[in-house]
Amino acid sequence: MLGNVWEGLDRGSKGQISTFSSFISTVSQKKEATENRGSPTHLVFPNIKNVRDLPPVCLDVRQKQRVSTDALSSEMKAPLLPEPVLPIQPKTMKDFQEDVEKVKSSGDWKAVYDFYLTTFDSFPELNAAFKKDATTSFNTIEDSGINAKFVNAVYDALLNTPQDIQKTVLKGIINSLLREWKGPRSKDDLRAYFILLQNPQFNNTSTYVIYAHLLRQIATLVEADHHFLVHWFKKLSQKRFKQLVERLLQFISLRLFPAKPEEFPPITKCSWWIPSASKVLALLNTANSLAHPPLIPYTDFYNSTLDHIDLMEEYHTWQSFGNSHRFSFCQYPFVISIAAKKIIIQRDSEQQMISIARQSLVDKVSRRQRPDMNMLFLNMKVRRTHLVSDSLDELTRKRADLKKKLKVTFVGEAGLDMGGLTKEWFLLLIRQIFHPDYGMFTYHKDSHCHWFSSFKCDNYSEFRLVGILMGLAVYNSITLDIRFPPCCYKKLLSPPIVPSDQNTPVGICSITTEDLCQIMPELAHGLSELLAYEGNVEEDFFSTFQVFQEEFGIIKSYNLKPGGDKIPVTNQNRKEYVQLYIDFLLNKSIYKQFAAFYYGFHSVCASNALMLLRPEEVEILVCGSPELDMHALQRSTQYDGYAKTDLTIRYFWDVVLGFPLDLQKKLLHFTTGSDRVPVGGMADLNFKISKNETSTNWLPVAHTCFNQLCLPPYKSKKDLKQKLIIGISNSEGFGLE
609 to 311, 329, 452, 518: CA distances (angstroms): 12, 13, 26, 27
Where do runs of H (alpha helix) occur along 533-637?
A: 537-541, 574-583, 591-604, 615-623, 630-636
**Total H helices, total E strands in the chain:** 28, 10
* CB-based contact 41:182 (threshold 8 Å): yes
Partners of 688 in the β-ladder: 638, 708
Distance, in Å, from the CA atom of 426 to the CA atom of 470, rounded to the nearest integer, reads 9
* CB-based contact 433:470 (threshold 8 Å): no
* CB-based contact 128:88 (threshold 8 Å): yes
Distance, in Å, from the CA atom of 54 to the CA atom of 666, rounded to the nearest integer, reads 51
Question: Could you tell me which of 482, 499, 510, 492 has the C-alpha nearest to residue 597?
Answer: 492
The enclosing H or E element of 378 equals strand 377-382
DSSP labels, 685-729: G--EEEE--S-TTSPPEEEGGGTEEEE---SSHHHHHHHHHHHHH
Give me the sign of the Cα torsion angle 378, 382, 387, 391: negative
Question: Could you tell me which of 101, 119, 63 has the C-alpha nearest to residue 494?
Answer: 63
Give me the sign of the Cα torsion angle 95, 100, 102, 106: positive
Distance, in Å, from the CA atom of 136 to the CA atom of 85, rounded to the nearest integer, reads 11
Distance, in Å, from the CA atom of 639 to the CA atom of 710, rounded to the nearest integer, reads 10
Distance, in Å, from the CA atom of 370 to the CA atom of 608, rounded to the nearest integer, reads 35
Residue 107 backbone zone (phi > 0: left; psi -120 to 50: alpha; other: beta): left
627 burial via Cβ count (<10 Å: 0-12, 13-18, 19+): exposed
Distance, in Å, from the CA atom of 487 to the CA atom of 465, rounded to the nearest integer, reads 20
* CB-based contact 504:529 (threshold 8 Å): no
- Which candidate in 270, 605, 623, 705 is catalytic? 705
CA atoms within 13 A on the CB side of 617: 23
Residue 184, preceding bond cis, omega within 30 degrees? no
* CB-based contact 300:242 (threshold 8 Å): yes
Contacts of 408-415 with C-beta under 8 Å, sequence gap 24+, read 408/380, 408/382, 409/379, 409/380, 409/381, 409/382, 410/382, 410/383, 410/384, 411/381, 411/382, 411/383, 411/384, 412/383
| CA triple 171-174-178, angle to 5 deg | 145
Where do runs of H (alpha helix) occur along 305-403?
A: 311-321, 338-366, 387-397
With b for 16 or more beta-carbon neighbours within 10 A and e for fewer, the 136-169 pattern comes to eebeebeebbbbbebbbbbbebbeebeeebbbbb
Distance, in Å, from the CA atom of 156 to the CA atom of 171, rounded to the nearest integer, reads 19
Partners of 104 in the β-ladder: none
* CB-based contact 381:411 (threshold 8 Å): yes
Give me the sign of the Cα torsion angle 389, 394, 399, 405: negative
445 burial via Cβ count (<10 Å: 0-12, 13-18, 19+): exposed
* Residue 705 falls in the annotated catalytic set: yes
Where do runs of H (alpha helix) occur along 446-568?
A: 461-475, 486-492, 513-517, 521-532, 537-541
Active site (catalytic) residues: 705
